[in-house]
Chain A
Amino acid sequence: MASVATEWAVECRGVTKDFGQGEAKVQALRGVDLEVPDGEMTLLVGPSGCGKTTLISIIAGLLDPTAGEVSVLGAEYRRMSGRAKVAFRAANIGFVFQQYNLLPALSAAENAAVPLLIAGVPRREAVRRAAALLDELGLVGRGGSLPSQLSGGQQQRVAIARALVHEPRLLVCDEPTAALDAHSGRNIMELLRRIAVQPGRAVIVVTHDSRVFDFGDRIVHLSDGRVEDVEVTNHGETDA
């Protein structure tokens, strides 16, 4: 089918995902076809339980689909060994989680440096680069703070720094604003637009927060495990 090389950063064809078996079987995804271009921010929206997290987990290579094909940055997960997938994630994907998931014992800069440490960059160098990125994200002078000493919005900015520090070609964010108040949420989205969205990088943001819809270049509406509608806002053009 889709063996032709495409310009899409992410391409899903007929992706399904079942959880459980028999009576308890839940069809979280029922055949998702989706293209995500790079250089843009794609929002994945839809009601609770429609399969947003499941889809983004599959796109990020954290979950195997029950059926269908997923190609990310020109590579197909199906053809990768478990090890290769882990290495692929480390090199190419940045993660932002709803719960931040920062290591409480590491300072902000150290947390942001983790992907570089995973890649084997020496600690000093890694922390230095992470601290510079934190400055860029508006956390000047907070690199030495522990996560517990930062507000939710600040912690999420550290998480964004961590997701971007190794310059991944795909950034996946699951509900990055859900734990924040409206103001901090907008700040985070603005930051993602300004820093994360770049040529050569695709950004996927899962959200059910309609207040931030206007930040996306395209909005993919999921409903009951299927793509219902794709809305192109041309945000990129108007923004530029």
Chain B
Amino acid sequence: MSWIAWKMLTGDRSKYLGIIFGVAFASLLMAHQVSIFCGIMRRTTSQIADIHEANLWVMDPKVQYVEEAAPLHDTDLHRVRGVQGVDWAVRLYKGLVRARMPDGNFRQVVLLGLDDATLVGAPVTLVKGSLADLRRPDAVVLDEAGFQYMWPGEPFTLGKTIEMNDRRAVVVGICKAGAPFQSMPIMYTRYNQAVLFAPRERKLLTFVLARSEPGVPPAEVCTRIEEQTGLKALTKDGFTWETIKYYIRFTGIPFNFGITVTLGFIVGVAIAGQTFYLFTIENLRQFGALKAMGVSNLRIVGMVLLQAALVGIIGYAIGMGLAAAFFEVTKGSVALAGFYLPWQVMVMTAVAVMLIILLASLVSIRRVLVLEPAVVFRG
């Protein structure tokens, strides 16, 4: 019977291809859009992700997400260090700084000031130069995409200079860094250097990065820090999700993607579902004949479900292949670097496709179930 179901399905080539196209298109659209959405959300937290050594982030209680700067007092660092369960804690400056190019143009850059002694938060991979050179006066390390953005078309060269806050900065290294939300250059320097590059403000300590002692749950240390200092303390994961939630709540990004994904789903149901229903209707007589010849309702339903599952699986596979190919082709571009098809999105799309197929076959199954086998004797 499975074989007959398969032959029936593929025998009607135009409908068969139509249904597969519908499913493939819907799954491509959904997977592609959700992946890009995830990629954008990941970019909003790339600076949290890039700091590996610390597992706790301490900040002003008013801070809602990583781009928000409400600086702390210098003394807050020592208060955090004094909390039990904190292994170590260091400073981090993070801010947007205007960089003046040699040709007089300006560029906004994300400036990260790392603890002078430990360089916690420093980039892991340098494609040119060395991290040790960050200790030289006025030294900065720039990320690859940032270099290309500031000096388009030029090969990576060290020794380039820019001015920030009327101070000269020298590029001593080029590194890899997670692409930020706004595609701005990321510039690493020492904390004490950063305060010179940054615009004059009373307080400059943006975050305290800390690590919990081994064996002590980070969440528990967070609670202790909050109780003892009145500051806000989050685990790395906690801060990541808080940032993502901020973007989800306060920007139109999820809404817009949500619309496209919903459209993909509807188009899937409309094209695939409708064509599948038409296919069933056209084969109603054949199903009736099979019923008359002694095929049970259960097996008929099995046949319809099998047909639905087949087009679902084939369409889904094509859709996923196209989505993966898209990200493979675009992975070199700055605008889409780091975007990929997460397995969670593949699972989600599979569930959506299953839903489409189920919806489509449900109506069809109803039709074949109520079908009187006696219809085969009617002209």
- Which A residues form the contact surface with B (CB < 8 A)? 53, 56-57, 60, 62-63, 83, 86-91, 93, 95, 97-99, 101, 103-106, 110, 114-115, 117-118, 123, 174
Contacts of B296 in A (CB 8 A): 83, 86-87
- Asked if B294 and A90 make an inter-chain contact with CB atoms under 8 angstroms apart, the answer reads yes
Question: How many B residues have CB within 8 A of the partner chain?
Answer: 27
- Among the stretches B96-104, B148-156, B371-379, the one at the interface with A is B371-379
- Asked if B294 and A118 make an inter-chain contact with CB atoms under 8 angstroms apart, the answer reads yes
Tell me which of B290, B373, B379 contacts A99 (CB under 8 A): B379
- Asked if A90 and B7 make an inter-chain contact with CB atoms under 8 angstroms apart, the answer reads no
Contacts of B1 in A (CB 8 A): 117-118
| 17 more A-B residue pairs beyond the given contacts A95-B289, A117-B1, with a C-beta to C-beta distance below 8 A | A60-B292, A87-B294, A89-B292, A90-B294, A90-B295, A95-B293, A98-B377, A99-B285, A99-B379, A103-B4, A105-B12, A106-B4, A106-B11, A115-B293, A118-B1, A118-B290, A123-B3
Known: A104-B11, A123-B3. A97 touches B294 (CB 8 A): no
B8 in the interface, Cβ–Cβ < 8 Å?
yes
| Cβ contacts B1-30/A at 8 Å (1 or 0 each) | 101100110111000000000000000000
Contacts of A123 in B (CB 8 A): 3
Contacts of A87 in B (CB 8 A): 294, 296
- Asked if A174 and B295 make an inter-chain contact with CB atoms under 8 angstroms apart, the answer reads no
B279 to chain A minimum Cβ distance, whole angstroms, is 11
- Which B residues form the contact surface with A (CB < 8 A)? 1, 3-4, 7-8, 10-12, 285-286, 288-297, 372-374, 376-379
Q: CA of A115 to CA of B295 in the docked complex: distance in angstroms? A: 9
- Asked if A103 and B286 make an inter-chain contact with CB atoms under 8 angstroms apart, the answer reads yes
- Asked if B295 and A97 make an inter-chain contact with CB atoms under 8 angstroms apart, the answer reads no
B110 to chain A minimum Cβ distance, whole angstroms, is 62
Q: Which residue of A lies closest to B3 (CB)?
A: A123
Per CB-CB distance, the 9 closest pairs between chain A and chain B, nearest first, are A105-B11, A90-B294, A101-B289, A89-B294, A62-B374, A57-B374, A105-B7, A62-B373, A174-B377
Q: CA of A220 to CA of B292 in the docked complex: distance in angstroms? A: 24
Contacts of B373 in A (CB 8 A): 62
- Asked if A101 and B374 make an inter-chain contact with CB atoms under 8 angstroms apart, the answer reads no
Q: CA of A118 to CA of B8 in the docked complex: distance in angstroms? A: 15
Tell me which of B11, B285, B372 contacts A101 (CB under 8 A): B285
Q: Which residue of B lies closest to A103 (CB)?
A: B286
- Asked if B294 and A101 make an inter-chain contact with CB atoms under 8 angstroms apart, the answer reads no
Q: CA of A118 to CA of B376 in the docked complex: distance in angstroms? A: 18
A109 to chain B minimum Cβ distance, whole angstroms, is 13
- Asked if A53 and B293 make an inter-chain contact with CB atoms under 8 angstroms apart, the answer reads no
Contacts of B4 in A (CB 8 A): 103, 106, 114, 117
Q: Which residue of B lies closest to A87 (CB)?
A: B294
Contacts of A106 in B (CB 8 A): 4, 7, 11
Contacts of A95 in B (CB 8 A): 289, 292-293, 376
- Asked if B3 and A117 make an inter-chain contact with CB atoms under 8 angstroms apart, the answer reads yes
- Asked if B11 and A89 make an inter-chain contact with CB atoms under 8 angstroms apart, the answer reads no
Contacts of B285 in A (CB 8 A): 99, 101
Contacts of A62 in B (CB 8 A): 292, 372-374, 376-377
Q: List 12 A-B contacts (CB under 8 A).
A: A56-B377, A62-B292, A62-B377, A83-B296, A89-B293, A95-B292, A95-B293, A97-B289, A103-B7, A105-B8, A118-B290, A118-B295
- Asked if B289 and A98 make an inter-chain contact with CB atoms under 8 angstroms apart, the answer reads no
Could you say which of A57, A87, A115 has the most chain B C-beta atoms within 10 Å of its C-beta?
A57
Known: A57-B374, A89-B292, A123-B3. A98 touches B11 (CB 8 A): no
Q: Which residue of A lies closest to B282 (CB)?
A: A104
Q: Which residue of B lies closest to A106 (CB)?
A: B7
Tell me which of B11, B290, B377, B378 contacts A114 (CB under 8 A): B290
Q: CA of A89 to CA of B11 in the docked complex: distance in angstroms? A: 27
B375 to chain A minimum Cβ distance, whole angstroms, is 9
Q: CA of A104 to CA of B372 in the docked complex: distance in angstroms? A: 21
Q: CA of A173 to CA of B292 in the docked complex: distance in angstroms? A: 12
Contacts of A53 in B (CB 8 A): 377-378
Tell me which of B8, B293, B378 contacts A90 (CB under 8 A): B293
Contacts of A91 in B (CB 8 A): 294
Tell me which of A57, A98, A99, A118 contacts B293 (CB under 8 A): A118
Contacts of A115 in B (CB 8 A): 293-294
Tell me which of A57, A90, A93, A103 contacts B377 (CB under 8 A): A57
Q: CA of A118 to CA of B379 in the docked complex: distance in angstroms? A: 25
Q: CA of A104 to CA of B296 in the docked complex: distance in angstroms? A: 21
Contacts of B292 in A (CB 8 A): 60, 62, 89, 95
